Structure 1
């Protein structure tokens, strides 16, 4: 396991789950204090995976279940896809994934900009671009990865 300060520096002292700042000077026993979460993308029982910085409370709340990374509340999206699932799919296979529907093109653009920024911190090695298609009285937001 890596040292907490190494993981914190690499992740710019931001919680990978809630995307809020983590105070490196706060006690590791405090709910908002730093902790290391071993994110395993390997099959059950396999060793490996990536260590990520998280608040103690975020890490505890997640437990041993698949984490949920929420969409920002200010975004106007309908039927948003689970962010972790989209990241895993694009990492494995690349291609294009529809991630949300939006009522206006401006809403889709704002959601796409936010999502690309969020994924850049969640999965730094994954490069994604957005695509917005109109149809059915709304706009479909998709992510594309090589």
Structure 2
């Protein structure tokens, strides 16, 4: 198990759930204080290390022992967005490509694709991925592609 300082330094002192800064000097008992979340979306193999991520105490408590949800921001015009955490887990295991959102305009799709890559750079820094935006059916599809 890593120390809070090690996990915080590795994650750049940003909460993996809400993507907001975490103050390393705040009390761990404060809702905005730092905590380490043992990310257990699937049962780890025997002897495998459970990944640890930095989270605010309140974000970690709110998540509890259920699957984490990383929301798409409300300012993006995205229709039928894919669940980000599950998509990242699938692409990490299998690779490939997956449509993650539909948008009404190219500008909306480009903005969503840029946001997603920026968010993934902190959420899943080891995932080597790009995005593609292609028109289809009167809308624009945002696809996440692993390299």
Fold equivalence (TM over 0.5): yes
Alignment match, 2:4: 4
Shift of 1:64: 0.5
39-48 vs 123-132, which moves further: 39-48
Distance across 2 between alignment mates of 1:96 and 1:48: 27
Q: Is residue 115 of structure 2 the alignment partner of residue 114 of structure 1?
A: yes
Distance across 1 between alignment mates of 2:129 and 2:119: 11
Alignment match, 2:26: 26
Distance across 1 between alignment mates of 2:90 and 2:107: 26
**TM-score, normalising length: structure 2:** 0.95
Once superposed, what is the RMSD of the aligned Cα atoms?
1.3
Cα distance per residue 1:3-44 (max 9 Å; x no partner):
101110110100000000000110000000000001125426
The answer (yes or no) to whether the contact 2:41–2:67 under 8 Å persists in 1 is: no
**TM-score, normalising length: structure 1:** 0.96
Alignment of 1:1-146 (within 5 A): 1-43=1-43, 46=46, 47-146=48-147
Alpha carbons of structure 1 residues 131 and 45: separation in structure 2 relative to 1, 3 Å: closer
Shift of 1:48: 2.2
The answer (yes or no) to whether the contact 1:109–1:132 under 8 Å persists in 2 is: yes
Alpha carbons of structure 1 residues 82 and 63: separation in structure 2 relative to 1, 3 Å: same
Query: Structure 1 unaligned runs (5+)?
Result: none
Distance across 1 between alignment mates of 2:37 and 2:45: 17
Distance across 2 between alignment mates of 1:44 and 1:126: 19
